[in-house]
Structure 1
């Protein structure tokens, strides 16, 4: 049992180390030596868990996607208005794109021309689907005006998330690191401007542009 637990810790360290390297320098420049060093593991340990660099990159994407899906589901299950959940989702994903190497690496790998498995659906496609589902719920629970343009609201939400990603990266397209991104107060300001145009007057006092439950990890 102890050996299995140690092997699982090593595997997770390799995935985390690989995510950090893929995010910072991309798939092509990410050597297995760099990844094993970032993980604090030997190359032998790396090859024990992953046959190729592509397998390791796919494991990074799988874990990132699993965490993202779990976060979306946890947000959607809370007893809050669905439009509030859309707001909270943009804050959560914006924060993940600033601070979480797994999420950042997933985005970069999905666009990296050198990564052979990039044909898998982009994470933004899954986030867009989640937002559209929440907007349908928002009309059902009365937090979104009946005549609101769902496509436009979804585009706004995805634009806020993409903007957070853009601001988290430097001019060369490499990750700036978890400590470099300022808190996304600008997302709060945008929602503060648009929520009065989206929500009925009786629902507006229940909506928080800054988000609620922001400690979700």
Structure 2
């Protein structure tokens, strides 16, 4: 049992170190030697758990998915309006792309790794797919206007996610990106939502930071 626990701790250190290295140096530039050195383990220990950099990248992407799903679950527990969860998730992304190594690394892996087609856990398929599911929930909950086509709603969410990621990539500040998001949602929300005082969605970022957004490593 002690050997298994040591193995699990070593794997955790490697995945965290890989996320840090991919986020700071990029997927292409970061080497397995950099990861093993940062994790404080030998190259042999690294290769025991991960035979290639792609395998390490996949493990990091799984952790980025965990961050996303945990956030969605926590928000949905306290927020009954799915459209509001969509808005809040885009604001959360603005923070995660600056504070969470797993999410930051997922962007660089997606941008830099050469694939024949985007994988389900790559940054864009993962985030867009999950937010589109929330739009489906909003539709089922009667929050979207009847004249709003599903494709149009997805286009707006795609623009928000892409805009936040691009602004972060081009080194716009968190405050600047938050203002851009506020302006975007103030423009878009009246076009999407049903006018119902009991199910309103606001454009501004939530005042409280969800526990899942805190740095975990």
Normalised by the length of structure 1, the TM-score is: 0.79
- Kindly report the root-mean-square deviation, in angstroms, between the aligned alpha carbons of the 2 structures: 2.8
CA 1:52/1:132 → structure 2, altered by over 3 Å: closer, same or farther? Answer: closer
Q: Which residue number corresponds to residue 169 of structure 1?
A: 169
Which residue is equivalent to 2:147?
Answer: 147
Q: Tell me the TM-score normalized by structure 2.
A: 0.79
Gaps of 5+ in 1: 171-175
- CA shift for structure 1 position 80: 1.6
Give the conservation status (yes or no) of the 8 Å contact 2:81–2:199: no
Establish whether residue 195 from structure 1 lines up as the match of residue 194 from structure 2: no
Number of aligned residue pairs: 208
Deviation of 1:204 (Å): 7.7
Contact 1:15–1:59 (Cα < 8 Å) also in 2: yes
Secondary structure of the corresponding residue to residue 186 of structure 2: helix
1:1-217 alignment to 2 at 5 Å? 1-114=1-114, 119-121=118-120, 122-170=122-170, 181-183=173-175, 184-186=177-179, 187-203=181-197, 206-212=200-206, 214-217=209-212
Per-residue CA deviation, residues 142-161 of structure 1 (Å, 9 max, x unaligned), is 32211123322222222222
Instruction: Give the conservation status (yes or no) of the 8 Å contact 1:94–1:161.
Output: no
Unmatched segments (≥5 aa) in structure 2? 213-217
Match of 2:28, SS state, is helix
User: How far off is 1:43 after superposition?
Assistant: 2.2
